[in-house]
Structure 1
Amino acid sequence: MDQEKFDEEFKKLWEESPLSHSDDEKEASWEQFYAQTFTEKKRKRKPWYLYAAASVAIFVLIGTGLYFSGKPSAENVVLAENVIENTTSTIKYVVLPDSSKVELRPNAKIIYGNDFALNRKIQMDGEVYFKVKKDKQHPFQVFCNETTTTVLGTSFTVKESENEEITVELFEGSVQMNVKGQNQKWILKPGEKFTYGNQTASVSEFSRFVDFDNESLSAVSHYIEENYGYKVALPKENQDQKITIRINRKEDLKTILQLLSEMYNLNFEINEDLKQITFQ
């Protein structure tokens, strides 16, 4: 799709605003968004946002959202701007204008308009976890490649692979999946994932939890290092102690640390500058 055609199509998508917006407000919002976002420099980059056309629509039936990773450290929380990209090696936490919460994995990107609180549309690239604030009047839409996820309030992850396969994992709520041109519908329950690639859709199970069954405490510390980006230092006498525990994949880090400290009568200290946790 050439740039002029894409501009026309994306503007049509943008103008699908709530009825509360006048035509003048839509036009002004679009002009400001376009000027700030689609600069000449950005147009020369990989056009990851060119996949706005929706061939898969996902609609929430019920949703609450319980699995966002609680209270990340203050320096990792940012008030969302129009374009946010995670160029770090750890998870980036974002609070959107509507109070929805987002976790961007390394190399992930999101983009949205200035009137997001009333027109909740997001373009994304990479792997992003969403905990959506419920708002029946303003559905939350995530565009990734050829898929559209439309929700009212739930907890889910959207991931785009290098071969443009899209995976949606549902942690909480209920979503209905539709593929353009097909009459079949897929209703997901928590713990199920929807995969779409090569014009083929499927539903399978995934584990929302990580189980440690009589494993060493050092195995848990390694899990924390890989998934939260903090190095963990354990007393030598505790490293080989056995533990059986189930951890929610989206659990708050401090909740895990407090549980471990109580189980083994340890204290812990978090050094945010060094990204290190020390038990003693």
Structure 2
Amino acid sequence: MDEKKLEEELKKLWNETPIPHSDSEKEASWEQFQSKTFPSKKQKFGSWRHYAAAAAILIFTLIGVGLYFTNDPISNNIEIVENTIENTTSIIKIVALPDSTKVELSPNSKIMYATNFAVNRKVEISGEAYFKVKKDKKHPFQVFCNETTTTVLGTAFTVKGYPKKEVAVELYEGSVEMSVKNQDKKWILKPGEKFIYGNEIASVTEFNRFLDFDNEKLSTISTYIESNYGYKVTIPQEYYNQRITVRINKKEDLKTIVQLISEMYNLNFEVNEKLKQITFQ
């Protein structure tokens, strides 16, 4: 194939590619490509490698332009070669994603994530989950739920949104950016703020992310741990009526709470993961 024929074929392919440009934009972009690939009518390609290189440049350019115009970060029509985690039990399921992000998946909920998750940290959710995201500045973490997108770097938050229901995002730590499909506005949440989207209306309100124990019996915290973390707690009988005043994050790590009790009352503790039991002594 001679140079003229190659140029004609490449331009035909260029114009037939379904890129969302006007005809004038396509013509201008073609002229730019043509000037770089065919700088002079007198210059001849030395071998088939040059033809292959020109075709490769075209394909790469088309792919790049296509991605630029179609990769809408707030679109929920993303394609994920998915791995699915579903919680069909009646208790919270704790899982770790490939990047070490911790997820507490509520009953009747599921998440889907890409196979190449290390570089494509996108998650789709149906239901409710709490995310404690592993920091990775080079690969932002995104959660897609109905028509909303939550974009984070490293933080802790809950997302709740069942099909055809409103979406609620509660931020416990860090910062997240909220966006809605087909809307230009973005919302930056601070810890203690809640984003709600339903019936095409978005709003931000405050919520109480802390739990206060004000002069409560120590056994009350034992009951709280069992109800919210699934671990049975045993404390010495003589400590049952000990009083405690403390404020904790509702999504605090269990380890932090246990260590806090241990230090406040000078108690040792043992955790039996198999039996899901914590014993203070």
TM-score (norm 1): 0.64
Whole-Å Cα distance in 2 between the matches of residues 153 and 211 of structure 1? 26
Aligned to 2:119: 118
Whole-Å Cα distance in 2 between the matches of residues 176 and 124 of structure 1? 17
Superposed CA RMSD in Å reads: 2.8
Change (3 A) 1:183 1:205: same
Alpha-carbon distance, 1:213 to partner: 0.7
Whole-Å Cα distance in 1 between the matches of residues 256 and 121 of structure 2? 31
Whole-Å Cα distance in 2 between the matches of residues 255 and 152 of structure 1? 23
Whole-Å Cα distance in 2 between the matches of residues 110 and 188 of structure 1? 23
Percent identity (aligned): 70
Asked if the contact 2:171/2:190 (under 8 Å) is kept, the reply is: yes
Alpha-carbon distance, 1:183 to partner: 5.5
Which has the larger share of helix? Answer: 2
Aligned to 2:211: 210
Aligned to 1:237: 238
Structure 1, unaligned runs of 5 or more: 1-21, 27-50, 55-80
Asked if the contact 2:213/2:247 (under 8 Å) is kept, the reply is: yes
Alpha-carbon distance, 1:234 to partner: 2.5
Aligned to 1:107: 108
Whole-Å Cα distance in 2 between the matches of residues 258 and 134 of structure 1? 24
Whole-Å Cα distance in 2 between the matches of residues 208 and 180 of structure 1? 27
Matching of residue 261 in structure 1 with residue 265 in structure 2: no
3-state SS in 1 of match to 2:261: helix
Aligned to 2:29: none
Whole-Å Cα distance in 1 between the matches of residues 240 and 184 of structure 2? 54
Asked if the contact 1:230/1:277 (under 8 Å) is kept, the reply is: yes
Matching of residue 247 in structure 1 with residue 236 in structure 2: no
Asked if the contact 1:90/1:228 (under 8 Å) is kept, the reply is: no
Aligned to 1:172: 173
Alpha-carbon distance, 1:191 to partner: 1.0
Alpha-carbon distance, 1:257 to partner: 1.5
3-state SS in 1 of match to 2:134: coil
Change (3 A) 1:100 1:257: closer
Q: Which amino acid aligns with 1:224?
A: I
Moved more, 234-243 or 215-224: 234-243
Aligned to 1:201: 202
Asked if the contact 2:111/2:125 (under 8 Å) is kept, the reply is: yes
Aligned to 1:153: 154
Alpha-carbon distance, 1:268 to partner: 2.4
Whole-Å Cα distance in 1 between the matches of residues 162 and 83 of structure 2? 24
Alpha-carbon distance, 1:150 to partner: 2.1
Whole-Å Cα distance in 2 between the matches of residues 230 and 203 of structure 1? 34
3-state SS in 2 of match to 1:195: strand
Aligned to 1:223: 224
3-state SS in 2 of match to 1:215: strand
Structure 2, unaligned runs of 5 or more: 1-58, 64-74
Provide the aligned length of Structure 1 versus Structure 2. Answer: 207
Alpha-carbon distance, 1:89 to partner: 4.3
Aligned to 1:10: none
Asked if the contact 2:122/2:141 (under 8 Å) is kept, the reply is: yes
Change (3 A) 1:271 1:178: closer
Which has the higher relative contact order, 1 or 2, with Cα contacts under 8 A spaced 6 or more apart?
Answer: 1
Alpha-carbon distance, 1:238 to partner: 1.7
Change (3 A) 1:104 1:268: same
Whole-Å Cα distance in 2 between the matches of residues 185 and 236 of structure 1? 53
